[in-house]
Amino acid sequence: MARTKGDHEARRRDVSEAVWRVLSAHGFGGLTMRAVAAELGATTGLLTHYFATKRDLVAYALDLLDRRTAEGRRPYEGEGLAALRAALRDALPLTAEATTSNRIWVSSWDTALADPALGADHAARYATGRDRLTTLVAAAQLHGDLPPGDPADIATAAQSFTLGLTIQALLAPTAFPPSRQTRLLDDYVASLTTG
Amino acid sequence: MARTKGDHEARRRDVSEAVWRVLSAHGFGGLTMRAVAAELGATTGLLTHYFATKRDLVAYALDLLDRRTAEGRRPYEGEGLAALRAALRDALPLTAEATTSNRIWVSSWDTALADPALGADHAARYATGRDRLTTLVAAAQLHGDLPPGDPADIATAAQSFTLGLTIQALLAPTAFPPSRQTRLLDDYVASLTTG
DNA sequence: CCATTCACACAACAACTGTTATGACTATTA
DNA sequence: TAATAGTCATAACAGTTGTTGTGTGAATGG
């Protein structure tokens, strides 16, 4: 059975959500054509129309992960140092949704490191994330909240700290409840002010 | 053909190195029975004698990764803050060997997060790593190099920073040459002294 | 010296993977 | 209205995976 143009765009959204559900349940390691098709209640014949090859599906999933993460970020929160802290806090697995999202990120690294082209795309995504933090750092410096210093280096260090804390929290959830994560983050942000 | 007891222990070392070579080349995602057997110049019938099931092979590989990483660590380097910095520096992908080792670690997370039992073992390994850093932090405090504060929290923050920097360096090697990694680490360690 | 046990090769299995070919059905266009 | 193009199901393919069973030859122990 064919579909109208409106139905087709609705189908595209269905495909996106099916990919997301598979990623949430099994990560990138469990991202298979048949798993997505089954989650969609369809067969692989449908998927071949949207993704000619497996690589296309993986590339789409990588991009979907990036977009879904961006959507989950709150737009603006305070200014100066408060905005930087809010941005870093948004990256931590403090909620159930953020936990699954971060789990998918971790599983994506194995896939990205195996394929140079996909890895380059992934690296570019992290670079834009660092740029976003860099502007927040520069704004905080202008605001007088942070001492002088290369904003890019400070942003990179902050992203490193957040990234590493995320991994440890994912591997040991009981040892890193949200309260401890926020406390560690607040301590780190506080240490930035004393240059 | 059978083997003597001495040959059998040599064979055990051969199996270990075959597993390691497979991990180095393809990560945990490419760790298959046949790949290890082929690397060994043997068939899967040999492996079933050492690993009854795939899970056993994965668990062994996880433990092997931990032991190989521990062997790569230099025993003692300075005291006080210098020892802490040396320990953190050993964790970064500054050399080719450290890079492949860290790449394997990243690929292991996908596997570990998928299996709760394996994930618990992995979390325990990171916990002992944090304990090791905690004692170094406490020693540095006694030495007068670090201001007072919970040594466990400081060690956890330091491990988070190192872990996150490692990931960014693996994804973007050109943006994070060894010189920049060490500079960022030195800046971080320096920030610890001004409590 | 003979029986047992060990260490392995070889082969096959069922399940799963990505990919492709074929055909049917519907919407669009001429 | 007739022809075309788009949208999907169905089925099959070749390859890879973990696992299992059978057989064989050498070392070991009584």
Is B163 close to A162, i.e. CB distance below 8 A? Answer: no
Phi/psi at A73 (nearest 5 deg)?
-80, 135
User: Which residues in chain A have Cβ-Cβ distances shorter than 8 Å to B117?
Assistant: none
Tens-place pLDDT, residues A15-45: 999 999 999 999 999 999 999 999 999 899 8
Q: How confident is the model at residue A195 (pLDDT cuts 50, 70, 90)?
A: low
- For residue A142, pLDDT over 50 is answered with yes
- For residue A9, pLDDT over 80 is answered with no
Please tell me whether residue A73 adopts helix, strand or coil conformation: coil
User: Which residues in chain B have Cβ-Cβ distances shorter than 8 Å to A112?
Assistant: 171
- What residue ranges in A69-118 does DSSP mark as E strands? none
Is A111 close to B29, i.e. CB distance below 8 A? Answer: yes
Mark the nucleotides of strand D covered by protein, meaning any atom under 7 Å from a CB.
5-12, 16-22, 25-28
Is the Cβ–Cβ distance between A120 and A146 less than 8 Å? no
- For residue A89, pLDDT over 50 is answered with yes
Average pLDDT over residues A140-159: 97
Phi/psi at B176 (nearest 5 deg)?
-130, 70
For A76-195, CATH gives: 1.10.357.10
Residue type for B124, please?
A: A
For A1-72, CATH gives: 1.10.10.60
Query: Which tokens go with A86?
Result: 């809010």
For the ranges A58-72, A81-95, A125-139, B63-77, the lowest mean pLDDT is seen at B63-77
Mark the nucleotides of strand C covered by protein, meaning any atom under 7 Å from a CB.
5-12, 16-22, 25-28
Q: Across the A/B interface, how many CB contacts are shorter than 8 Å? A: 138
Residue type for B7, please?
A: D
Average pLDDT over residues B43-72: 94
Is the Cβ–Cβ distance between A87 and A133 less than 8 Å? yes
| CA–C1' nearest nucleotide, residue A47 | D8
- For residue B2, pLDDT over 90 is answered with no
Tens-place pLDDT, residues A41-54: 989 989 999 999 99
Nearest to B59, CA basis, from B6, B138, B112: B112
- For residue A173, pLDDT over 80 is answered with yes
| CA–C1' nearest nucleotide, residue A32 | C17
- For residue B5, pLDDT over 80 is answered with no
End-to-end CA distance of chain A: give it in Å, rounded: 66
The pLDDT, as a whole number, for residue A10 is 80
Distance of alpha carbon A57 from the chain centroid: 18
Interface residues of chain A, partner chain B, Cβ below 8 Å? 26-30, 103, 106-107, 109-114, 119, 122-123, 126-127, 153, 156-157, 159-168, 170-172, 175, 183-184, 187-188, 191-192, 194-195
Q: How confident is the model at residue B112 (pLDDT cuts 50, 70, 90)?
A: very high
Number of Cβ within 10 Å of residue A147's Cβ equals 11
Query: Which tokens go with A64?
Result: 């979907």
Indicate the domain borders of chain A: 1-72, 76-195
Query: Which tokens go with B121?
Result: 């073992």
Is the Cβ–Cβ distance between B187 and A153 less than 8 Å? yes
Is A110 close to B106, i.e. CB distance below 8 A? Answer: yes
CA distances in angstroms from B28 to A44, A58, A146, B32, listed in the order given: 27, 18, 42, 9
B182/A20 Cα distance (integer angstroms)? 38
B89/B11 Cα distance (integer angstroms)? 34
A75/A132 Cα distance (integer angstroms)? 12
Residues in CB range of B6: below 8 A, 6 or more apart: none
Please tell me whether residue B150 adopts helix, strand or coil conformation: coil
Q: How confident is the model at residue B68 (pLDDT cuts 50, 70, 90)?
A: very high
Is the Cβ–Cβ distance between A43 and A17 less than 8 Å? no
Please name the residue ranges forming H helices in chain B: 5-26, 33-40, 44-50, 54-72, 81-91, 96-114, 116-142, 151-171, 178-193
